[in-house]
Structures are given as structure tokens and as C-alpha cells.
């Protein structure tokens, strides 16, 4: 019981003594690269003191506290830590009782080193009290808190789900599942995580990734922590151009982080298709002609990319003169087998078309990567076909039209009649000549 009372008395005395000098960090929590590191030692209850010898600031640079800087009589500043002084640290102070005696230590935000400068600091004073006794007192040590905003984030790494290694590709077939991983700084709080946002084509802004990410354990790195974050994403037909963003140090809204990186992912879409080739039915070679007689039978062929699905085909649409839009051809094209070429498949598609009198100017369209409506494909080509004027049509080297046959028959008939007349006249003239001689 007696021991407890003695301990309580000593505690009160110690507490009272430490109230003669106090230490403050301004601000109490320093934001790296935003706040200066300021430590203020000040005398309180100075009425109990007659004079001061010094006020001293120290910190535990190693195991023990070592003096950093002091203010002496005549307000002289004395540096004990020349390394801090050389880095640009500043100090000012006064032992004048007219004002509150103090010592102020300042490190500009540009020279603060983290974590080296965030040690425990304490103040010490020595002087003569009102009883003319020499007293030396210390403040309780304080640990200056700090926070740091992340500024470094690696580019997202991409890996196909269940694959061992990352891939440099950013285009994938529809339906493929990919894993995206970001690694970077998260600040001075190890519970902070990396956040993901996504923006699809034609969307105005990023939206927060709704599904949970897989986070690694936070590991200290200098004055802050680093960690990685991984999400899994299944590609759909809507991912024609999808942008992913990973960030840390944010305030809750996508794009407000202090460390941000992006990656763009697209599905494989056909972009190349050849111009339609034209061939007259049963001919061996294509023709460069685009005008033909009525009832001519043509074959049109397109060849190009169809995407990552070998079941995709090339579609055909037609637009005749005076029609405003393309409409799908009402026939089933003949498709070749799909063959893989690089990152997607290619194939050809052929239609057979019989020209009519309505084909004065007919436009054919072949496309792939479409959404079901004519002209919405990602790979499109056109060819224009028209009929020749029957009045000026004299046929071609392959002309077998009825008009040509009739014209040929008439000419041959007339030639035969003329030949018969010539033979008859010649025979008659011979008979007349013989009679005249006899």
C-alpha cells in the first residue's frame, strides 16, 4: 500500500515536471511532398523559471536519442547534426522570457526523406527555477506520423485464364477469359487496395468494376506499401474497344487516383475483305467487265476475314437503282471452308445472280463482322453491276443471247438466198449462150 502511494506521488511529480516543456509536430500528420516537417519545443509555466541555459531537440537516429539542434543564450542556434543542416534543415528560437521561450525545427517538404526523418523526437531544457536550483527536464517523446500518396503504378499485365505466362497481345477472340494484374504503390496504409474501373466503346466515362478483385499481401517499400490486384474478365461482343484502369490513392471516384495506369482490350474483328470478283457463269476466268446483257448469269465472290469463329460467314446485300437502302439477298451463298490465318479465320463466299431489266444500276455489298443489319459489318466491300442498252448491244465474245441468234440467222438466210439467185442466173445465162452458138 505504501509503495503504491509513493509511486503515485512520483508519477504526479514526473508529470508536473514534464509540463515545463512540451513538444509538438506541426502538422501532427505530415503528408509527404505536401507538408513541411516542423517540430516545436516550447516552455510552459515559465513563471517557475528564473533563467534558461538552452532548449534542445533530439531524435533517435539510431538506438539512442542524439542531439539535432539547440538554442543557447543570446538566441544562438547551435547544430549538432551537421548532416541535417547540410540537407537544408532550418532552426530558430529564443530564450527570452518576454515571449514564450521556444525552439522551432523545420525541414522543407522537398528535403524530407521518408522513412529516415520520421523518427521519435523529444525536447529538453535546462535552467534555473524560482528556488534558484538548476533543473533539467525533458518532454515525452513523440513519433511524427506521416502519410504518402502513391505515385507509381505498373502497366497492367494480361494473361489468358489458366495460362502460365503473361501475353503481349491485346486482341482476343470473343468468349475468352483474361486476367488483368496491376502492381504498384498504395500509400502508407497497408489496408488500402488498388481499384479497377472500365469503360467500353461509346461510353462517356469509366465505371467502377463491380466484381471483387484478388489482392496480394501489402509489403513495405520505402515509406509506403505496395501490392498487386487481379481481376478476371470474360470478353463479349460488346468489347470492341474496352479500356481498363487501375488506380490507387483515389478519393472514391474513377480517375481521381494519384497513381493510374490503363490497358486497352478488344475482341478480334474482321477488318479486311477483298473487292468482289465477277465471273460469267461457266466461264473459267474472272472478268473485269461490269456491264452485261439482260439474263446474263453472274457469279460474285468475296474473300476476307471473318473473325475468331470459324462458323462465321460473309453476308451479301443488294441495292438497286432508286432504292434507298441495302437489303439482304434472298439466297444462300456458297461458302468455302474457313482457314486460320494469323489471329483469325478467312473464307470466301459466292453468290449466283441473274440479271434482269431492273438491274440498270445494281450495287452489291459483301461484309463480315456484322450485327445482322446490312452495312454494319467491320469489313465491307462493294461492286456495281449494270445491264447494257439492248439497242446498242452487239454482243461480246461470249454473247449467246436470242437477239444475237436471230440476227445471225437472218444474215445467213439472206446470204443463202443471194447465192441461189446468183447460181440460177448463171445457169440460165449458160443455157442462153449455148443456144446462140447453135
Q: What is the pLDDT of residues 68-127, one digit of tens each?
A: 999 998 999 999 999 999 999 999 999 998 888 999 999 999 999 988 999 999 999 999
Q: What is the pLDDT of residues 219-234, one digit of tens each?
A: 998 889 999 999 999 9
Q: Report the C-alpha gap between 402 and 291 in whole angstroms.
A: 18
The mean-pLDDT minimum among 262-276, 280-294, 418-432 falls in: 418-432
Let me know whether 161 and 142 are in one domain: no
Q: Report the C-alpha gap between 318 and 325 in whole angstroms.
A: 8
Q: What is the pLDDT of residue 214?
A: 97
Residue 349 within a domain: yes
Residue 207 within a domain: yes
Let me know whether 204 and 123 are in one domain: no
Q: What is the pLDDT of residue 15?
A: 33
Whole-prediction pTM: 0.64
Q: Does 205 have pLDDT greater than 90?
A: yes
Q: Does 391 have pLDDT greater than 70?
A: no
Domain that holds residue 46: 21-147
Q: What is the pLDDT of residue 314?
A: 95
Instruction: Provide the domain count of the chain.
Output: 3
Residue 92 within a domain: yes
Let me know whether 27 and 142 are in one domain: yes
Residue 118 within a domain: yes
Residue 91 within a domain: yes
Residue 394 within a domain: no
Q: What is the pLDDT of residue 85?
A: 97
Q: What is the pLDDT of residue 348?
A: 97
Residue 244 within a domain: yes
Q: What is the pLDDT of residue 98?
A: 82
Q: Does 414 have pLDDT greater than 90?
A: no
CA dihedral 84, 87, 90, 95 (to 10 degrees): 20
Indicate the pLDDT class of residue 62, thresholds 50, 70 and 90: confident
Q: What is the pLDDT of residue 9?
A: 34
Q: What is the pLDDT of residues 126-162, one digit of tens each?
A: 999 989 999 999 999 999 999 899 999 999 999 999 9
396 CB-contact burial (10 Å; exposed 0-12 / middle 13-18 / buried 19+): middle
Which CATH number do you get for residue 319? 2.60.40.10
Q: Report the C-alpha gap between 381 and 370 in whole angstroms.
A: 13
Q: Does 340 have pLDDT greater than 60?
A: yes
Residue with more model confidence, 211 or 438: 211
Mean pLDDT (whole number) for 52-78? 93
DSSP-assigned letters across all residues of 144-211: -EEE-----BPPPEEEETT-SS-----EE-TT-EEEEEEEEEEES-TT---EEEEE-TT-SS-EE--S
Q: Does 319 have pLDDT greater than 50?
A: yes
Q: Does 400 have pLDDT greater than 90?
A: no
Residue with more model confidence, 392 or 198: 198
Residue 323 within a domain: yes
Cell numbers standing for residue 6: 509513493
Let me know whether 263 and 292 are in one domain: no
Let me know whether 374 and 304 are in one domain: yes
Boundary (domain end) residue, out of 220, 246, 267 = 267
Let me know whether 261 and 310 are in one domain: no
Q: What is the pLDDT of residue 397?
A: 38
Mean pLDDT of the chain: 87
Mean pLDDT (whole number) for 361-373? 89
Boundary (domain end) residue, out of 344, 367, 387 = 387
DSSP state, residue 73: G
Q: Do the Cβ atoms of 189 and 218 come closer than 8 Å?
A: no
Q: Does 33 have pLDDT greater than 70?
A: yes
Mean pLDDT (whole number) for 278-290? 96
Amino acid at each position: 500500500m505504501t509503495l503504491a502511494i509513493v509511486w503515485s506521488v512520483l508519477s504526479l511529480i514526473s508529470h508536473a515536471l514534464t509540463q515545463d516543456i512540451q513538444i509538438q509536430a506541426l502538422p501532427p500528420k505530415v503528408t509527404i511532398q505536401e507538408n513541411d516537417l516542423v517540430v516545436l519545443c516550447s516552455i510552459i509555466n515559465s513563471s517557475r523559471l528564473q533563467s534558461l541555459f538552452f532548449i534542445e531537440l533530439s531524435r533517435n537516429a539510431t538506438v539512442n536519442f542524439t542531439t539535432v539542434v539547440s538554442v543557447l543564450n543570446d538566441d544562438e542556434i547551435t547544430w549538432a547534426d551537421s548532416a541535417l543542416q547540410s540537407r537544408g534543415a532550418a532552426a530558430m528560437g529564443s530564450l527570452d522570457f518576454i515571449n514564450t521561450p521556444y525552439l522551432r525545427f523545420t525541414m522543407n517538404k522537398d528535403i524530407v526523406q521518408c522513412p529516415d526523418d520520421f523518427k521519435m523526437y523529444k525536447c529538453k531544457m535546462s535552467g534555473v527555477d524560482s528556488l534558484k536550483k538548476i533543473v533539467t527536464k525533458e518532454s515525452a517523446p513523440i513519433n511524427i506520423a506521416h502519410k504518402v500518396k502513391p505515385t507509381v503504378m505498373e502497366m497492367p499485365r494480361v494473361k489468358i485464364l489458366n495460362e502460365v505466362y503473361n501475353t503481349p497481345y491485346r486482341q482476343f477472340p470473343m468468349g475468352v477469359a483474361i486476367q488483368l494484374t496491376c502492381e504498384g504503390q498504395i500509400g502508407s496504409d497497408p489496408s488500402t487496395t488498388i481499384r479497377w474501373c472500365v469503360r467500353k466503346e461509346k461510353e462517356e466515362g469509366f465505371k467502377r468494376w463491380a466484381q471483387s478483385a484478388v489482392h496480394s499481401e501489402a509489403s513495405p517499400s520505402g515509406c509506403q506499401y505496395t501490392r498487386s490486384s487481379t481481376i478476371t474478365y470474360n470478353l463479349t461482343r460488346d468489347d470492341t474497344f474496352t479500356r481498363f484502369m487501375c488506380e490507387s490513392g483515389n478519393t472514391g471516384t474513377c480517375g481521381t487516383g494519384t497513381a493510374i495506369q490503363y490497358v486497352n482490350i478488344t475482341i478480334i474483328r474482321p477488318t479486311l475483305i477483298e473487292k468482289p470478283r465477277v465471273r460469267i457463269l461457266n466461264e473459267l476466268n474472272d472478268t473485269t467487265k461490269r456491264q452485261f446483257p439482260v439474263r446474263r448469269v453472274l457469279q460474285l465472290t468475296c474473300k476476307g476475314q471473318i473473325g475468331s469463329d470459324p462458323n462465321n460467314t460473309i453476308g451479301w446485300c443488294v441495292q438497286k437503282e432508286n432504292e434507298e437502302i441495302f437489303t439482304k439477298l434472298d439466297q444462300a451463298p456458297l461458302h468455302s471452308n474457313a482457314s486460320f490465318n494469323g489471329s483469325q479465320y478467312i473464307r470466301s463466299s459466292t453468290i449466283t445472280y441473274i440479271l434482269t431489266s431492273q438491274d440498270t444500276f445494281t450495287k452489291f455489298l459483301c461484309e463480315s463482322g456484322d450485327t445482322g443489319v446490312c452495312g454494319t459489318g467491320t469489313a465491307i466491300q462493294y461492286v456495281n453491276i449494270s445491264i447494257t442498252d439492248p439497242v446498242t448491244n452487239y454482243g461480246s465474245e461470249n454473247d449467246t443471247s436470242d437477239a444475237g441468234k436471230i440476227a445471225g440467222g437472218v444474215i445467213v438466210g439472206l446470204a443463202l438466198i443471194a447465192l441461189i439467185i446468183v447460181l440460177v442466173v448463171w445457169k440460165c445465162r449458160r443455157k442462153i449462150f449455148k443456144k446462140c452458138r447453135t
